[in-house]
Every structure is written in C-alpha cells, then in structure tokens.
Amino acid sequence: MKSFYNITVLFALAIVYINTHAQSITFEKTFGDNGCNESGSCVRQTSDGGYIILGTNTGDGTTIFAALILIKTDSLGNIVWSKDAFEYGVLFSWANNLEITSDGGYIIVGSISDANSTVRDVLLIKTDSLGNKEWHQTYDSLSSDMQYGSHEEGRDVKQTNDGGYILTGVAGSMGAASCEMIILKTDSTGNKLWLKKYTGLGKAIGNSIVECENGNYLILGYTTLSAPDYLMYLVKTDANGNKIWDKTYNWNLGDFTMGIDVKFKNNVNGEYFLLGNGHYFGNQGAEMFLIKTDTTGNNIWQKNYKINNSYSSLGYDFDITEDGGFVLAGTISFFDNNIDVYMVKTDSAGNITWDINIGDSSMFEGAYSIRQTTDKGYIITGGKNGCVYLIKTDSIGHFTTEINEFILENSMINVYPNPFNVETTININNDSFRRDKEFKIKLILYDILGKEQDLSYKFDKSSIKLMRGNLKNGIYFYKIISENNIIDAGKIVVNQP
C-alpha cells in the first residue's frame, strides 16, 4: 500500500504543483533474528512520539524456549534500544501485555517457567523509561486445586489510581478439572495485596481488565461447563475484587464465543465495549464482533466484522478513537489458507467506515495490538513470517511499504542553494530517471526529531523546487523516493530570510 504521487510527464516543460497537507508518518517494519519465531503482542505510543513494543521469541522450534522482548523505536519505527529476557533474568518467559506507567516506565505481564518444566507462574515486570528492570515478581499456587494448577498466566495488567497494579489471567487449564479466572491486586512494587477467583459456569479465563466507574473493575474472558462450549464472560467487581454481577454472551446460538478485550468509555452513560470472537462448530470459521452494553451488562448492540468471501476473521485488540468510533485489529484468513492483517474502522454505533486486509499471499501476517496515535493515524504490532511486525498507518489505514534503503546507481543529485532561505532546487541528474515517460516520485522532509513536514514544491522532469513555506529555521533531512527505491537522501538547512 504505497502512498506515492502519480505524475505523468507529457512534455519537457510540464510542471506539476504539489502541496501536501498535514501528512502522517507511515511505515512498515519487521524486526527479528533469522531462524527464530518472534511476534509483537502489544504496542503503545510513548511521550516522545516513538513506540514501545512487547513481544516474545519462541526460538527455532528445535527446543522448548521462550523469551520476552521489549523494543523501543523512534517516530519512524527505527530501533532506539531493545531488551530481552536474558537481561531481565526471566528466561523461559512469555509476554502478554504492557502499559505505560505514571512515571514513564513500563509494566509487563505474562508468565514464566523453567527449562525442565511445563509449569508456568504469573510474571510481572516493572522497568524505567529506558527499559531497565526495576523489579520483577512471580506469583504461584494461585489455583484452588493445585492438582490442576500447573498453568498460571497473567494476560492483562493496568496501573491503578493508588499507584499499584491490577491484573487478570488464569490459574489452571480448560482441559483440567479446575480452571479459574484470577484477579490479583498488588502494591506499587508488585507485592500481592489480594487475590480473587471466579469460575463462571464451571471454568473461566480472564483476558482483559479495566478500571471503570467508582474504582470498580471489569474483567472480560470466557467460561464453560465443559469445553468447547465457551461463552463470553464479563465480571464486574468492586474495588476489592468482590463480584457485583457477571454476564455471559453467546455470539450465535449453538456456536462458541470468546471474550478478548474490554474498554470503558467514561461518559455520562458509562458505556462498556467488548471485543470477542465467535467460532462456528465443525471447523467452519469464525467472526470477530463488538458488543456495546450498559453499566449492568445488558447488550445494547452487537456488530460482526468479516470480509466477503473470506473464511475466518479473529479480533485481538481494539481502541476507542478520537471521533467516538472504534478501530479493531486481528487476522483475516481465506480459503487458500492465506492469513493477513485485518483492520476495521467503525463509527460510534459500530458500523464499518472502512476495513482493509494487509498481507502477501506467500506470507503469514497477523495484528495483535492497535492504538490510535496523536496524528490520528494508527500503530499496529503483530507477526510477519516469524518476525515482529510494526505498521504505522495514516487515518484511513494507508501506509508506505518497506523501502529499499539504497541510492540508485548513476544517481547524481545536488541541492542549490543549501542552506537556503526562500527556495532551493534539487536537481536530479539520472539518465534512466529522465527517460521515463511516466514515473512515481515522492519528496519527504523530516525535522531533527523525525517529524514529517508539510511541504510546498514544484516538480518538473529533472528537478524539484522546494519552497520554504512554513518551515522554521533549522536542519532537515530529505528523502526522494521513486519506484520503491530511495534515489537520494541528504540534509537541507533553512536559514533566516
């Protein structure tokens, strides 16, 4: 999904005037080691305009291995630093979720095991803003029946108003006799204050937790009396984790339903929004859906999302957008077994505004986390063919695909004057470039913080005339892109007029 200007040169003196307006930075990035299986599970925009990504490396498949990874990027998706389980002293760890804390650091939740055991414990890690570990805590023996308590996992965490943390997850296994949704409250250094467990219809798992009105909590997951007859399960508790009410939701009578993520909209009505996946029995696919409820859990509306002629859609995360609508992210699969990223934008009533699938027929692409960014675009992380996948889109889901970072041979480009104060000309002296009768080109300019600038420039067959416009005095970096190649990159200085 390349965002190039299409320009047709009709004759030598043809000139096209181009003005760009408030463009978002967009990109597509992959991170990972050859032979390893890595994916991103959570992404958030940081206060400096960059991004923090949480993920897991599960190795090359030849041994039992898992290690959480933490990646910090700048606003262009370039890695600033990265940390892993080795540095944190938590080898054999799985990462599920992350939030930015009030001090600018990060709180991470997941699970941890050891090399010779399938037993997992809940893991909580606190870092500073540079990813340096401040502390970590593990929580075990949480199940009511330890005969079946071998799998204990934290799936979501939030910082609470008192500076502590609230997390949800599971103790036990759906395949065992005991499986409980857990709600665990800690102080600011991760010391356990209290633990609550709920079983719903008999067994239950917690996937998402949020603090709502009056310090109460909403926990979303799924419950069953016997697998695979799952129902979406929503629990509301008071500030001490005591149940106020619980509700189950069935996406489609006779099928099974899982709750994935819950959001609270703090308005006059105090609305709740639930993301789930409904699965058809008999291996007949699935659909992602969104439910709106009132503050007592009564269903107000439900909307399903799936591309026509696709086999299955699965939702993994959603966000409430600035316009009052929603953006959802997950996967879409087709009958040829191709799996792509699936992104849906809706209005406030859950009706689709637009939806797109992003992918290559020869690869696996999946989205597991999404957030709206300050420029009204979207940041997504997930997996792409064994690598951590990071996509930054504009407000309508468009982005620039990965670009070959090399200068074309025989490309001779000069900028004069440089520095400049009113206008400058970028001369493109490349024979093959000039011979094209129709080509695509884009000029991009960034300030020293990596923010893309609004530009006004004239383009003809072999030069670009850049006008100062609203550019402030300072140093800027430019790229000229043609046919998915950077044909030149350099520095331009703007002086006082």
SS (H, E, C) 356-379: EEECCCCCEEEEEEEEECCCCCEE
Give the pLDDT confidence score for residue 60 in this predicted structure.
67
Is there a single domain that holds both residue 385 and residue 430? no
Is there a single domain that holds both residue 456 and residue 343? no
Q: CB-based contacts of 146: which residues, under 8 Å, 6+ apart?
A: none
Q: Is residue 379 part of a domain?
A: yes
Provide the pairing of β-strand 463-467 with 474-482: unpaired
Q: CB-based contacts of 417: which residues, under 8 Å, 6+ apart?
A: 424
Asked whether the beta carbons of 328 and 349 are under 8 A apart, the reply is no
Is there a single domain that holds both residue 372 and residue 243? yes
First to last CA, the chain: 39
How many other C-beta atoms are found inside a 10 Å radius of the C-beta of residue 120?
A: 23
DSSP codes, 158-215: EE-TTS-EEEEEEEE-TTSS-EEEEEEEE-TT--EEEEEEE-TTSEEEEEEEEE-GGG
Q: Is residue 22 part of a domain?
A: no
Is there a single domain that holds both residue 342 and residue 457? no
Q: CB-based contacts of 122: which residues, under 8 Å, 6+ apart?
A: 109, 111, 138, 139, 140, 142, 152, 153, 154, 167, 169, 182, 184
Is there a single domain that holds both residue 80 and residue 138? yes
Asked whether the beta carbons of 25 and 75 are under 8 A apart, the reply is yes
| Residue whose token pair is 């990027």 | 73
Q: Is residue 132 part of a domain?
A: yes
Q: b vs e for 28-63, b when ≥16 Cβ sit within 10 Å of the residue's Cβ?
A: bbbbbeeebbbbbbbbbbbeebbbbbbbbbeeeeee
How many other C-beta atoms are found inside a 10 Å radius of the C-beta of residue 410?
A: 10
Question: Taking CA 7 as the corner, what is the angle to CA 6 and CA 8, rounded to the nearest 5 degrees?
Answer: 125
- Based on the structure, what is the number of domains in the chain? 2
Quick one: 110 exposed, middle or buried, by C-beta within 10 A (0-12, 13-18, 19+)? buried
pLDDT in tens, the chain (497 residues): 332 222 222 222 223 333 333 457 899 999 986 667 899 999 999 999 999 999 998 876 656 678 899 999 999 999 999 998 888 888 889 999 999 999 999 999 999 987 666 678 999 999 999 999 999 999 988 876 655 447 899 999 999 999 999 999 999 876 666 789 999 999 999 999 999 999 999 999 999 999 998 899 999 999 987 766 789 999 999 999 999 999 999 877 556 788 899 898 876 678 999 999 998 876 678 999 999 999 999 999 999 999 888 889 999 999 999 999 999 999 999 887 889 999 999 999 999 999 999 987 667 899 999 999 999 999 999 999 889 999 999 998 988 776 444 334 444 578 889 889 999 998 876 554 444 444 567 788 887 666 778 888 777 767 888 999 889 888 888 888 776 666 677 788 898 76
Give the pLDDT confidence score for residue 145 in this predicted structure.
64
Give the pLDDT confidence score for residue 409 in this predicted structure.
42
Cα–Cα dist 438/6, whole Å:
8
Is there a single domain that holds both residue 422 and residue 320? no
Residue 422 domain boundaries: 413-494
Amino acid letter, 53:
I
For residue 369 the two structure tokens come to 């986390």
Point out the domain boundary residue: 340, 361, 393.
393
Q: Which of 211, 350, 176 is nearest to 275 (CA)?
A: 350
Point out the domain boundary residue: 393, 425, 442.
393
Q: What is the CATH number of the domain that holds 265?
A: 2.130.10.10
Is there a single domain that holds both residue 381 and residue 420? no
Question: Taking CA 36 as the corner, what is the angle to CA 34 and CA 39, rounded to the nearest 5 degrees?
Answer: 110
| Residue whose token pair is 């910082």 | 159
Is there a single domain that holds both residue 306 and residue 433? no
Asked whether the beta carbons of 374 and 388 are under 8 A apart, the reply is no
Give the pLDDT confidence score for residue 402 in this predicted structure.
60
Q: Is residue 31 part of a domain?
A: yes
For residue 396 the two structure tokens come to 């309508």
Cα–Cα dist 276/290, whole Å:
6
Question: Taking CA 159 as the corner, what is the angle to CA 237 and CA 189, rounded to the nearest 5 degrees?
Answer: 110
Task: Please name the helix (run of DSSP H) or strand (run of DSSP E) that holds residue 295, with its range, or none.
Answer: none
Q: Is residue 398 part of a domain?
A: no
Q: What is the CATH number of the domain that holds 432?
A: 2.60.40.10
Give the pLDDT confidence score for residue 435 in this predicted structure.
42
Is there a single domain that holds both residue 136 and residue 187? yes
Q: Is residue 490 part of a domain?
A: yes
Point out the domain boundary residue: 363, 393, 423.
393
Task: Please name the helix (run of DSSP H) or strand (run of DSSP E) that holds residue 85, with its range, or none.
Answer: helix 85-88
Is there a single domain that holds both residue 50 and residue 149? yes
How many other C-beta atoms are found inside a 10 Å radius of the C-beta of residue 176?
A: 15
Q: CB-based contacts of 141: which residues, under 8 Å, 6+ apart?
A: 149
Does residue 86 sit in helix, strand or coil? helix
Alpha helices in 347-445 (DSSP H): 431-435
Q: Is residue 403 part of a domain?
A: no
| Residue whose token pair is 């892993």 | 84
Is there a single domain that holds both residue 260 and residue 341? yes
Q: Is residue 48 part of a domain?
A: yes
Is there a single domain that holds both residue 417 and residue 481? yes
Q: Which of 112, 108, 89 is nearest to 99 (CA)?
A: 108
